[in-house]
Amino acid sequence: MKHIFKNKRISSILTVMPPHEVFFADEMHNYSFPESQNKRLAKVMGFNKRRIGEKYDTVSDYAVYGIQQLIEKGVLKTDEVGAIVVITTTPDHLIPPTSNIIQGRFDFSTETICQDLSFGCAGYIAGVLQAFMLLDVLEDKKVLLVTGDFLSQRIAVRDRGSRPIVGDAVAITILENSKEDNKCYCAIRNDGANCFAVYIPAGGTRLPTSPETGIEEQDIFNNYRAKDHLVMNGDLVFNFIINEVPVMMEELMQDAGITKDDIDYYMCHQSSKFTLQKVADRLDVPRQKVPNNIIETYGNSSSASIPVNMAYNLSEELTQDKQLKIMLAGFGTGLTWGAIIMDMGQMDYCGMVDFAGKHYALGE
Partner 1 sequence: MQQEILEILTEIRPEFDFTQDIDFVEQGMLDSFDLVSLVDALDEKFGISISGADILPENFSSLASMETLINKTKNI
CB-based contact 159:2 (threshold 8 Å): no
Does residue 288 touch partner 1 according to CB under 8 A?
Answer: no
**Span from 66-74, 175-183, 195-203, 231-239 in contact with partner 1 (CB under 8 A):** 231-239
Read off φ and ψ for residue 24, nearest 5 degrees: -55, -40
Site map 166..205 versus partner 1, x via CB under 8 A:
----------------------------------------
Alpha helices (H) along the chain: 24-27, 35-45, 59-72, 98-105, 123-138, 234-256, 273-283, 305-318
Coil vs helix vs strand at 352: strand
Residue in 4, 19, 25, 40 binding partner 1, rule: CB under 8 A: 40
**Span from 57-65, 172-180, 204-212, 275-283 in contact with partner 1 (CB under 8 A):** 275-283
224-225 vs 217-218, strand pairing mode = antiparallel
Residue in 71, 207, 242, 258 binding partner 1, rule: CB under 8 A: 242
Give the list of residues 6+ apart from residue 14 with CB closer than 8 angstroms, or none: 66, 69, 70, 171, 172, 311, 349, 350, 351, 352, 353
**What does the alpha-carbon distance between residue 161 and residue 67 come to, in Å, rounded to a whole number?**
34
Does residue 73 touch partner 1 according to CB under 8 A?
Answer: no
Does residue 43 touch partner 1 according to CB under 8 A?
Answer: yes
Does residue 217 touch partner 1 according to CB under 8 A?
Answer: no
Coil vs helix vs strand at 80: helix
Q: Which of residues 132-161 bind partner 1 (CB under 8 A)?
A: 160-161
By beta-carbon proximity to partner 1, the closer residue of 287 and 325 is 287
Read off φ and ψ for residue 36, nearest 5 degrees: -65, -35
- CB 238 → partner 1: shortest distance, Å? 6
By beta-carbon proximity to partner 1, the closer residue of 132 and 240 is 240
Where does residue 172 fall: left (phi above 0), alpha (psi -120 to 50 degrees), or beta otherwise? beta
By beta-carbon proximity to partner 1, the closer residue of 203 and 234 is 234
Does residue 278 touch partner 1 according to CB under 8 A?
Answer: yes
Residue in 5, 24, 33, 108 binding partner 1, rule: CB under 8 A: 33
Does residue 238 touch partner 1 according to CB under 8 A?
Answer: yes
| Amino acid present at 162 | S
Residue in 19, 221, 262, 358 binding partner 1, rule: CB under 8 A: 221
Does residue 41 touch partner 1 according to CB under 8 A?
Answer: yes
- CB 224 → partner 1: shortest distance, Å? 14
Chain centroid offset of residue 292 CA: 14
Residue in 1, 26, 29, 34 binding partner 1, rule: CB under 8 A: 34
Q: Which of residues 247-266 bind partner 1 (CB under 8 A)?
A: none
Residue in 111, 140, 181, 235 binding partner 1, rule: CB under 8 A: 235
Coil vs helix vs strand at 4: strand
Does residue 357 touch partner 1 according to CB under 8 A?
Answer: no
**What does the alpha-carbon distance between residue 85 and residue 139 come to, in Å, rounded to a whole number?**
17
By beta-carbon proximity to partner 1, the closer residue of 238 and 360 is 238
CB-based contact 285:260 (threshold 8 Å): yes
In the beta sheet, which residues pair with residue 187? 339
What one-character-per-residue DSSP string does 224-242 give?
EE-TTS-EE-HHHHHHHHH
Does residue 224 touch partner 1 according to CB under 8 A?
Answer: no
Coil vs helix vs strand at 1: coil
Chain centroid offset of residue 19 CA: 18
* Number of chain positions touching partner 1 (CB under 8 A): 26
Does residue 215 touch partner 1 according to CB under 8 A?
Answer: no
Does residue 239 touch partner 1 according to CB under 8 A?
Answer: yes
**Interface residue list for partner 1 (CB under 8 A):** 33-34, 36-37, 40-41, 43-45, 160-161, 220-221, 234-235, 238-239, 242-243, 272, 274-275, 278-279, 281-282
